């Protein structure tokens, strides 16, 4: 085998992210929302409420992670509600705030 084939390929340094940047990376606003589609008909009302709550919790968890809040114990209810105001979502309930922290906990 030629010696050139045994040389390791040079690695490129990745671009800085929120966790590696010297200064915090600001949240880019406004994002174009995803085109909404109708939810499937015929489900019980509780299914729709839970589904929408999960979507909202996911959006809030992503916004918190983008803003530098990585640990669930850093995400108090007021922090989550401030993030909701920043991204233009109605203030979440205590149940939704709990769900946001659960998503952050299990994303690792």
Locate the domains of the chain by residue range.
Answer: 45-104
Interval 7-28: pLDDT, tens? 666 666 655 555 555 665 565 6
CB crowding 27-63: b at 16 or more within 10 Å, else e? beeeeeeeeeeeeeeeeeeeeeeeeeeeebbebbbbb
Residues 6+ apart with CB under 8 A from 41: none
Residues 6+ apart with CB under 8 A from 44: none
User: Using 50, 70 and 90 to split pLDDT, how confident is the model at 35?
Assistant: confident
For position 7, what pLDDT does the model report? Answer: 62
% of the chain at pLDDT higher than 90: 45
Q: What is the average pLDDT across 2-6?
A: 61
For residues 104 and 62, the answer to whether their CB atoms sit within 8 Å is no
């Amino acid at each position: 085998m030629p010696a050139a084939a045994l040389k390791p390929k040079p690695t490129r340094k990745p671009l800085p992210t929120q966790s590696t940047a010297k200064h915090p990376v600001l949240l880019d606003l406004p994002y174009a929302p995803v085109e909404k589609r109708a939810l499937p008909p015929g489900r019980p009302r509780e299914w729709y409420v839970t589904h929408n709550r999960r979507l909202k919790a996911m959006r809030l968890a992503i916004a918190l992670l983008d803003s530098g809040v990585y640990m669930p114990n850093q995400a108090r209810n007021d922090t989550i509600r401030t993030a909701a105001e920043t991204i233009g979502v109605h203030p979440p309930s205590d149940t939704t705030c709990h769900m946001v922290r659960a998503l952050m906990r299990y994303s690792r």
